[in-house]
Amino acid sequence: MPILALDNVSKKFGALAVADRISFEVPQGQALGIIGPNGAGKSTLFNLVTGNLAVDAGSIAFAGQDVTRLRAMRRCAMGIGRTFQIPQPFGKLTVFENLLVAAAFGANEQEADATERCAAILEETGLARQANRVAGSLSLLERKRLELARALATDPKLLLLDEIAGGLTEGECGQLVETIRAIHARGVTVIWIEHVLHALTPVVDRLLVLHFGRVIGIGDPREMMESEAVREIYLGIEI
């Protein structure tokens, strides 16, 4: 049974189809990369999967259960964790408290039990020294790490990463990729939207290419990158 299955999912903003009959499945434990030019509907696809946006048509199943009509908070509690492309920290709470919210609500843990796990996640994501700092005062890299740490604190079965490596330096990007690799190695299914292709391709098992809200290909990352259609879409972008 796939952990995530989309069947003919469609969404329109006015006359613009941002998701056009999208169907694909993600087996448990796989890492799927999603690429596509700006405006292809990648983040919209995440919003539809997490419930931040409602679908116009089609259905979404998570771990065999239809979640199409469930609210975002319910889907999170079931095990769908996400990061946002533009970091959305709880600015007046500390880094630790940001994680505590995710653990208490997303993973339904008591605060006392969650403390240990949150501390471990902070160490893993390189935020241990910032634990008691107010999230509003973090740098871009730290905010990106917080997005990841907070998603992990919900104890996800499926982790959706939205351009987590964007805007980072080469070195920062490398550290982040190592962390994501370790998370995936623990058996967490990962779906990762990314423009930084050299970060994405070594980690993912399959690659999905999205263009104008439509899936134009899904398969082995190397084959996808070499396909005619992808080269055409990414013309001018270094692969």
Partner 1 sequence: MVDRTAFWKAETRTRASSLFLGAALVLVAVAIAAPAFVGRGALRDLFFILTMLVLAQSWNLLAGYAGLVSVGQQAFVGFGAYAMFAAVSLWGVDPISAIVLAGVAAGLLALPTGFFVFRLQGAYFAIGTWVVAEVVRLSLAQWKALGGGTGTSLPAGATRDFAPVAWIQGLFGVRPAHAVDILTYWLALALAVAAIAFIYRFLLTRQGLGLAAIRDNELAAGALGVDARRLKWAVYVATAFITGLTGALIYVQTARISPDAAFSVVDWTAYVIFIVVIGGIGTIEGPIVGVILFFLLQNGLSQYGSWYLLVLGLIAILVMLFAPRGLWGLFADRTGIQLFPVRRTLRQAGPKPQTSDSRGGPHG
Question: CB of 90: closest distance to partner 1 in angstroms?
Answer: 4
Could you tell me if 193 and 163 are in contact, meaning their C-beta atoms sit under 8 angstroms apart?
Answer: yes
Alpha-carbon distance of 31 to 43, in angstroms, equals 17
3-state DSSP assignment of residue 208: strand
Q: Of the two residues 66 and 116, which places its CB atom closer to partner 1 in the complex?
A: 116
| DSSP H or E run through 159 | strand 158-162
Binding to partner 1 (CB under 8 A) within 111-170 occurs at: 111-112, 115-120, 122-124, 131-132, 150, 154
Question: CB of 123: closest distance to partner 1 in angstroms?
Answer: 5
Backbone Cα Rg of the chain: 17
Which amino acid is residue 11, in one-letter code? K
Q: Of the two residues 131 and 225, which places its CB atom closer to partner 1 in the complex?
A: 131
Q: Map 9-50 to HEC letters.
A: EEEEECCEEEEEEEEEEEECCCEEEEECCCCCCHHHHHHHHH
Q: Of the two residues 97 and 205, which places its CB atom closer to partner 1 in the complex?
A: 97
Binding mask 23-52 for partner 1 (x = CB under 8 A): ---------------------------x-x
Question: CB of 130: closest distance to partner 1 in angstroms?
Answer: 10
Could you tell me if 204 and 234 are in contact, meaning their C-beta atoms sit under 8 angstroms apart?
Answer: no
Q: Which of 4, 67, 104, 233 binds partner 1 (CB under 8 A)?
A: 104
| DSSP H or E run through 162 | strand 158-162
Alpha-carbon distance of 67 to 59, in angstroms, equals 8
Residue 172 lies near partner 1 (rule: CB under 8 A): no
Q: Which of 89, 158, 165, 207 binds partner 1 (CB under 8 A)?
A: 89
Q: Which of 16, 57, 73, 185 binds partner 1 (CB under 8 A)?
A: 73
Residues forming contacts to partner 1 in the complex (CB under 8 A) are 50, 52, 71-73, 76-77, 82, 84, 88-94, 96-98, 100-102, 104-108, 110-112, 115-120, 122-124, 131-132, 150, 154
